[in-house]
Structure 1
């Protein structure tokens, strides 16, 4: 009789444990990436009052089974539904990240400064030092860095710093190509008089923008025009060449009698920058034929040799110009009712070699493979780093430590310190979304009812056993 009391007590304890787990599941029904748990019961032990015996064929006596009385129940295991994926919540925050993987066995790697922990709660933010951190704990997100060439270095994971002095700006690029297109009207009065002025904007190596001004003047030969460099001005419209108080170029005579311009106090032959050229069109078709100069054979391009303005002399305030190849092949020459549309553009027809100013960081995006890119106002998109994820041989063996985090155990397998790319097993990362709890309230309430009835039944066993003991005591009366 006493056995039934203690068996029922064990039943009360295990059902209370199960109720505790159910209560925790329901409490976390809205916790990001929470994984529901369930309790599994197992028998404690049995008291054998009579062992089993074998049958005797000679006497015709059959065998007997053992006589055993159970002594209660215990909590055999607490299983975590680690592979059950929670539904997606759209937040619109670019640093809210959701892991999309078939078996929900990938984890973000975070660090508390000493240990690496693992989580599927992807609510991150950028802290004051530019690191991606968990909103709830401040633990830093781990991943791979990039080298100077922008290649991901897949070695030991480290904290991802997406905003720093190095990433707040994008390096400028000097213009190396340009083209001239449009119609130069055959009857253009300006081209026949002082010359039609066209401009080409460009950048130097430091990202400063300038404008080169060219004059296209008609010659006595139909379809042939002289092309000369008139000036180069900075972003404020001031000539880069030295001028006097009246705004005229300061000139001098070169060793061969040529006119020299003054650039930052240094005499420069303008013909070495851009040699006077001859632009020729096919008169029957109105199409471009060639452009050439004394030292440049007929071709479709001609160089603007800005590098002659650079100097390696530290005592002179030099420049950072690159040479620009100018393509004239898209220009045309025909009667356009007196209207010329000819003009210049930096970059070639494919947009290469345009050059760029120094770029300021305007946004950060996370791609579906975990790569984090910075967008800059000069048009550059730069790879900053990549998120690495952890995979385990037995993800259900991870130990919950609170704050939506897990730590590895002997049964889960160890983290190798490097991680894998999320796309390695066909998974991806969604930006602007969070994984919600995988708690199924209908199942939890059903389990609650079953647990409640089990607890009541064990209570009734205690009550009934007590009644039997009371009857036994009353025998003496």
Structure 2
């Protein structure tokens, strides 16, 4: 009689535990990265009234099964559905990341590494990538010997918005190219005429922008042309060779910082009108010649003689101090086709290749960070207003042989246990196991409300049935006590 009472009590207890788990699942139906748990039961130790016996051939007695009475139920397991991915919620927030795969983000709080599926990140005052509770998102840093890659070493906090990352270093221009067409019938380019102008922009190593003003004129031969420099100006359009004393009216002098320069075999020395500030460049030397094929109109080369081999002219600045690098101006894409007596020339920074234009050697000004992006491999790139994209770090992930063995710590965090497998402190690239990152998206809770409500119904019925066992056993005990009356 008493056994049924205690069996009913154990049944109530396990069903109450299951209802607690269901309640927690439903409470977290909208929690980012939450993993629903499920409960399983097992029966408890049995009391054996009679052991099993085998058949006895001597007496002719048959075998008998054991007679056992169970003593109730127990909770066998409470397991989180770690590997079941929740729904995707689009946020368009660059700090929100979802893992497409079985890996976990690595975060560090108080010197201890934890693991999470919730990718709703942000930054703190130091520019460190963090989760809402303040734990730092861990990953790999940029290789100091190759800033296009990261070093897969021991994970450390990823810093995005730091003083070093807010700016992009300027670069001096080393390559430019001139494109377009020179029409040999264009009267503007004949020898002695004003010439066809082309402005070539370039940067020095401090990020300051300059413009070399070129003039193309026809040589004595109709398919040969000379290129001269008429002036070099700064970003405000003023000649770099002129310097004003600031008086009214101003008196101009040569700028001692810029002495001279060479271009296309010619050394140019500036002279200045002290009243107007007008700069005149005088060149000495033999100019290199642009030659075109008289039959096809295509670029033939730069140089003298029938077989010129050059493709570009070098601009070499002489300054004190000298922040400039030699700028190669490539003319190989210029043609000499008939176009109604009109020529057109354009210049761009960078190099030109057979497959198209590249930015190699274009140079750039100093840049300010305007944002960042995270690719599918977790590499974080800073975006700058000078067109630069710089690698800032990479988010690493961790995987476990038995992710269901992780211990939930609250705050969407899990900790490793002896049964989950261990974290090696390094982690791996999310793509190494076929996974990827999706930015601007969050993984939502994987709670299935229809399944939870169904479990709630069966749990309620189980609890109700066990309570009936107790009340019925109580009635039977009451009848037993009433026998003495």
State TM-score, norm by structure 1. Answer: 0.88
Are the structure 2 counterparts of residues 418 and 335 from structure 1 closer, same or farther at C-alpha, using a change threshold of 3 Å? Answer: closer
- Any idea what the Cα deviations from partners look like across 1:140-167, whole Å, max 9, x if unmatched? 1111111132221001011111121221
2:142 to 138, 146, 149: 146
Aligned counterparts of 1:208 and 1:286: Cα–Cα separation in 2 = 37
Specify the alignment match of 1:364 in structure 2.
372
Are the structure 2 counterparts of residues 361 and 58 from structure 1 closer, same or farther at C-alpha, using a change threshold of 3 Å? Answer: same
Specify the alignment match of 1:322 in structure 2.
325
SS at match of 1:202: strand
Aligned counterparts of 1:390 and 1:259: Cα–Cα separation in 2 = 63
1:400 to 408, 430, 433: 408
Q: In the comparison of the two structures, how many residue pairs are matched?
A: 454
1:173 to 153, 171, 194: 171
Are the structure 2 counterparts of residues 80 and 212 from structure 1 closer, same or farther at C-alpha, using a change threshold of 3 Å? Answer: same
Aligned counterparts of 2:332 and 2:433: Cα–Cα separation in 1 = 51
Which stretch of the first structure deviates more once superposed, 7-16 or 355-364? Answer: 355-364
Aligned residue runs from structure 1 range 40-55, under 5 A:
40-55=40-55
Aligned counterparts of 2:70 and 2:202: Cα–Cα separation in 1 = 90
Aligned counterparts of 1:270 and 1:174: Cα–Cα separation in 2 = 26
Are the structure 2 counterparts of residues 293 and 377 from structure 1 closer, same or farther at C-alpha, using a change threshold of 3 Å? Answer: farther
Unaligned 5+ segments in structure 2 are 245-249, 261-266, 273-280
Contact 2:315 2:326 in 1 (8 A): yes
Displacement after TM superposition at 1:45 (Å): 1.4
Displacement after TM superposition at 1:190 (Å): 6.2
SS at match of 1:86: coil
Are the structure 2 counterparts of residues 343 and 438 from structure 1 closer, same or farther at C-alpha, using a change threshold of 3 Å? Answer: closer
Displaced runs of 4+ in structure 1, greater than 6 A?
250-253
Contact 1:146 1:384 in 2 (8 A): yes
Which stretch of the first structure deviates more once superposed, 38-47 or 118-127? Answer: 38-47
SS at match of 2:454: helix
2:303 to 286, 292, 302: 292
Q: Give the alignment's Cα RMSD to 1 decimal.
A: 2.7
Specify the alignment match of 1:344 in structure 2.
347
Specify the alignment match of 1:126 in structure 2.
123
SS at match of 1:318: coil
SS at match of 1:299: coil
Aligned counterparts of 1:259 and 1:7: Cα–Cα separation in 2 = 105
Aligned residue runs from structure 1 range 219-258, under 5 A:
219-243=219-243, 249=254
Specify the alignment match of 2:275 in structure 1.
none
Are the structure 2 counterparts of residues 225 and 465 from structure 1 closer, same or farther at C-alpha, using a change threshold of 3 Å? Answer: closer
Q: Establish whether residue 472 from structure 1 lines up as the match of residue 469 from structure 2.
A: no
Aligned counterparts of 1:401 and 1:10: Cα–Cα separation in 2 = 28
Unaligned 5+ segments in structure 1 are 264-268, 310-316
Aligned counterparts of 2:218 and 2:251: Cα–Cα separation in 1 = 29
Displacement after TM superposition at 1:79 (Å): 1.6
State TM-score, norm by structure 2. Answer: 0.86
- Any idea what the Cα deviations from partners look like across 1:246-271, whole Å, max 9, x if unmatched? 65757999xxxx984489xxxxx976
Which stretch of the first structure deviates more once superposed, 193-202 or 115-124? Answer: 193-202
Aligned counterparts of 2:123 and 2:142: Cα–Cα separation in 1 = 19
- Any idea what the Cα deviations from partners look like across 1:201-225, whole Å, max 9, x if unmatched? 0111222110111233344444444
